[in-house]
């Protein structure tokens, strides 16, 4: 990276020199990569995040919502809101953009495997006048090109469940942290998704009894299959061959992260519920149908909503729903 760049202090935290990918392809101008990364296979990433990057941005850009999730966590760890942080698997900047916008003393090294997503991040950060505090770097999160103990925090929003070996990414995060600094990951948990699978299976069974069919029930069956594969992959035939072809690979458990914390030498592991609300199952169902299924809530029959509502009102107390994490924040302390 050129010495005249205002971001050279961020590039100095890499153990290998960086090169601007725009020198080889103008589409990626302003996106950097470690020289040893050039020409390596991008294993474990699908076209959704490469050629489909613009469509992914149009569908899932949600800067305000992501910041509303991150802000309470950063309030618990105020030192993370200044200095230098590493945003792992930053994509097009759902985490990077709002953090830079709300914390003027913060600089971000934003890493992702997809240069296409990072080109969008560069565009959006430039548009908002934030690019001087942001360094987009195309790199595999499972390979470690960082120096040690320079970062005031590591953040990963929905990245570990896409990675074949998330333990390697967390171990790398612990290496770059200063003492007493946090690595913060927002991830899906098996517990809450297992309940949603029960709910959706019950709805699909009832639809069959009623002789009803249609896209909404086909989608719920696909969601149930996805949850089953991500939580029971070791029991499925040929899972290792198909593993790298999946976008979403993991649903995590509290025990997994506690064991991982011990493995990487974390001084402490904290887990927080991201959505502690009384209508948890109804709200999650609404999100799944509209955001992921691109369906209308009117497509869901009244009798199906009544089944979901019973899980909120009859089957689970507020305290149990608070324990039953669907999506959570995991904080590893150095």
- Verify that 175 and 295 share a domain, yes or no: no
- Verify that 52 and 87 share a domain, yes or no: yes
3-class DSSP state of 187: strand
Angle at 258 between CA 255 and CA 264, to 5 degrees: 140
- Which one of 142, 169, 188 terminates a domain? 188
Q: How confident is the model at residue 6 (pLDDT cuts 50, 70, 90)?
A: low
- The parent domain of residue 39 ranges over 8-188
| Nearest-angstrom CA–CA distance, 169 and 36 | 18
267 in any annotated domain: no
254 in any annotated domain: no
- Which one of 143, 164, 188 terminates a domain? 188
- Verify that 300 and 310 share a domain, yes or no: yes
Q: Give which of 26, 51, 45 is closest to 89, Cα–Cα.
A: 45
**Does 47 or 114 have the greater pLDDT score?**
114
Burial of 258 (0-12, 13-18, 19+ CB in 10 A): middle
How many domains are there within the chain? 2
pTM of the model as a whole: 0.92
Query: What value does the mean pLDDT take over residues 252-279?
Result: 95
Q: How confident is the model at residue 237 (pLDDT cuts 50, 70, 90)?
A: confident
Residue 29 confidence (pLDDT)? 96
260 in any annotated domain: no
CATH of the domain at 82: 3.40.50.150
- Which one of 138, 171, 188 terminates a domain? 188
| Nearest-angstrom CA–CA distance, 178 and 151 | 6
Query: What value does the mean pLDDT take over residues 248-262?
Result: 95
- Verify that 198 and 172 share a domain, yes or no: no
> According to the 3-state scheme, what is the secondary structure of 104-145?
CCEEEEEEECCHHHHHHHHHHHHHCCCHHHEEEEECCCCCCC
- Verify that 162 and 218 share a domain, yes or no: no
**Does 204 or 248 have the greater pLDDT score?**
204
- Verify that 44 and 92 share a domain, yes or no: yes
């Amino acid at each position: 990276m050129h010495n005249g760049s205002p971001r050279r202090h961020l590039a100095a935290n890499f153990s290998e020199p960086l090169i601007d990918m725009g020198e080889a392809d103008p589409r990626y101008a302003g996106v950097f990569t470690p020289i040893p990364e050039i020409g390596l296979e991008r294993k474990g990433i699908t076209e959704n995040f490469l050629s489909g990057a613009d469509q992914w941005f149009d569908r899932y850009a949600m800067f305000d919502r992501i910041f509303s999730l991150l802000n309470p966590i950063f309030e618990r760890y105020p030192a993370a809101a200044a200095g230098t942080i590493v945003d792992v698997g930053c994509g097009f900047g759902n985490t990077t953009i709002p953090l830079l916008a709300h914390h003027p003393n913060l600089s971000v090294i934003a890493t992702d495997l997809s240069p296409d997503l990072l080109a969008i991040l560069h565009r959006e950060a430039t548009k908002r006048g934030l690019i001087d505090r942001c360094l987009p770097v195309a790199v595999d999160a499972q390979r470690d090109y960082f120096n040690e103990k320079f970062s005031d925090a590591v953040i990963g929003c929905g990245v570990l469940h896409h990675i074949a070996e998330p333990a390697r990414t967390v171990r790398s995060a612990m290496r770059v942290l200063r003492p007493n600094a946090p690595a913060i990951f927002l991830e899906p948990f098996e517990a809450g998704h297992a309940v949603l699978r029960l709910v959706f299976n019950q709805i699909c069974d009832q639809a069959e009894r009623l002789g009803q069919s249609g896209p909404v029930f086909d989608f719920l069956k696909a969601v149930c299959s996805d949850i089953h594969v991500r939580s029971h992959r070791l029991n499925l035939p040929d899972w290792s061959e198909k593993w790298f072809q999946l976008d979403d690979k993991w649903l995590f458990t509290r025990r997994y992260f506690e064991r991982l914390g011990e493995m990487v030498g974390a001084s402490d592991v904290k887990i927080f519920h991201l959505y502690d609300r009384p209508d948890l199952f109804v709200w999650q169902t609404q999100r799944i149908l509209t955001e992921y299924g691109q369906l209308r809530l009117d497509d869901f029959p009244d009798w199906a909503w009544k089944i979901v509502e019973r899980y909120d009102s009859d089957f689970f107390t507020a305290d149990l729903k608070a324990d039953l994490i669907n999506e959570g924040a995991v904080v590893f302390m150095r």
